[in-house]
Chains A and B, each alone.
Chain A
Amino acid sequence: MRALKIYAALFAQMLKVRLAYRGDFLADLFATALGGLSSLFFVLLFFVPVDSLAGWKRDEVLLIAGLSSMSYGLFATVSWNLFEFGDRYIIEGRFDRVLLRPISTFAQILCDQFRIPVLAETVIGAGVVATAMHRLGIGFGALEWLFVAVTVACGALLYVFVFTILASVSFHFEDRVGVAPPVFNVIPFGRWPQEIFPWPIRTLLRWVIPFGFVAYYPSTALLGRGSLKGMAALSPLVTLAFGVLAALCWRLGVRKYESTGS
């Protein structure tokens, strides 16, 4: 709770700082929005020569991609530090300072930097989801809103936890790049109907790097299609399980740091 309060205070400060350089902020916002749009634009381009993908129509695929963008934007805004963790904190030695403060080390890493323009991706994603839901004739009742909100929150947290697990590897292997990049590159897998992948990849995305739970399974539930729509209910549980795993990995890493200082 206290961490949340500090979090909010820091966020307000960072926003103030970024807005002070208005030109810079707008340029960054524009460029980030362009980046976010291009990944959705790919879906549009893709459906120019193609009319359906494994039985999924364009708007249905856009629903998955939009949900995925919303979660990704929230995640990337708060947790860019997880990608730079090995470099910024271990190699450049900032973790010493983190250990000297009386709040959770993990909360501090998440608080330390905000990439506010990336929130544009969440906003664009929300627009796409709303449009797709409208065109697909899905109602906009309280239940649907709640479902989307929970889905996006779980998705964002799931990303955070997966990349926390990977960031804690930096405690053991000193390396600027870390092991996150290939998993980061798996994120786009989760933006497409899982049917197109052979079973090993589907299993991987369900149980190992569970990005299928971010947008795909919730979309099947929203659309009421396929035999796997029940999987959406598992989304919060999977998120919770990865949260526990992430906490364990982080603790182990901090303990290692305390004994070697690097």
Chain B
Amino acid sequence: MNPVRALHLPAYAGFFVGQFHKMLAYRTRYVTGIISYLVYVTTYYFLWKAVFSRRAPDDAIAGFSGAQMATYVAIGWIARSFYFNNVDRELAEQVQNGSIAVALSRPVSLQGTIVASTLGEGLFRFLFFTLPISVVIFLLFPVAPPASALHAAAFLLSNVLALAILTQLNFLVGLCAFPLKNIDGVMRAKHYLIELLSGLLIPVAMFPGWLQSLSAWLPFQAISYLPSSLWLGHARAGAEWLGGDATLIGRVLLVQAAWVAALAALGAFCWGLAARRLSVQGG
């Protein structure tokens, strides 16, 4: 049997292309999206600049110099322009309007179709958001290049894994629409939780000690903090458990992959529960 067939890859490819197509149709979202990222980077760049401007050039905070912090902010938001998606909202809408029942009747798994379409969206975002945003940001802000070519490649791969982690998290949040009537609040809480605990707004290294230990056991820092540390080429406070710089790349990717697997398993389990409820109670 053809292994490609067996995995229903052509079927998933349809979702991949479909999502890509859908994204192209929204030209306003495209323009406003680029502006939004510029706004994000500007805000946090100047916030940190104000902090470092009163310090000596070599006076680092938790291992970050002013220049490194600027790079960290820019890279973090550029990466977000790639891995971000709205799987939770889309899934919740399907649950609320009942079209989720169609997912049960398809010969492919729901999680699989979602991964395929987020990858399609990711490729679109990379080509049409992330690249132009990077150009603008590299021109406007002082961003240091990656530590090495190997680090750059690892950074790219790491962000694909970040996309996978976020997708699985969003899938879980979207499934909340089964027990809850309205998940606006849950989505909002998740949004802020990720922005804060992923290290996007403030590096995990600057967290107080107790929050650093807590973060080590949560998937959030694998979305932003770990990939960005690959670009900078250093393992930093709050991630000592990753070991030294030499093995950094391998370990970051491994930790991320483990989170993808764990969250995907949890998602499959929860979807199983939801699907049973759907087929028993009719939604």
Contact = CB atoms under 8 A, between A and B. Distances in A.
Whether A and B touch directly in their complex, counting CB atoms under 8 A apart, is answered as yes
A179 B32 contact: yes
Given A49-B62, A196-B47, A38 B193 contact: yes
Interface string B174-197: 000000111111101101110110
B99 interface: no
B196 A41 contact: yes
A196 B28 contact: no
Interface in B124-168: none
Contact of B28 (A41, A52, A175): A175
Contacts, number: 107
Contacts of A38: 189, 192-193, 195-196
B206 A32 contact: no
Interface residues of A, number: 42
Nearest to B28: A175
B36 A117 contact: no
A182 B250 CA distance: 37
Give chain B's interface secondary structure class: helix
Contacts of A7: none
A34 interface: yes
Interface in B180-230: 180-186, 188-189, 191-193, 195-196, 201-202, 206-208, 211
Interface in B17-57: 26-29, 32-33, 35-36, 39-40, 42-43, 46-47, 49-51, 54
Contacts of A29: 185
B35 A182 contact: yes
Interface in B100-125: none
A67 B188 CA distance: 20
A173 interface: yes
Nearest to A38: B192
A196 B46 contact: yes
B192 A175 contact: no
A28 interface: yes
6 contacts: A24-B180, A30-B185, A38-B193, A38-B195, A49-B206, A185-B40
Interface of A: 21, 24, 27-32, 34-35, 38-39, 41-42, 45-46, 48-50, 52-54, 115, 117, 173, 175-179, 181-182, 185-186, 188-189, 192, 195-198, 201
Given A34-B189, A42-B202, 16 more contacts: A28-B185, A35-B191, A42-B201, A45-B196, A50-B61, A52-B54, A175-B28, A177-B28, A177-B32, A178-B32, A179-B28, A181-B33, A181-B36, A182-B39, A196-B47, A198-B46
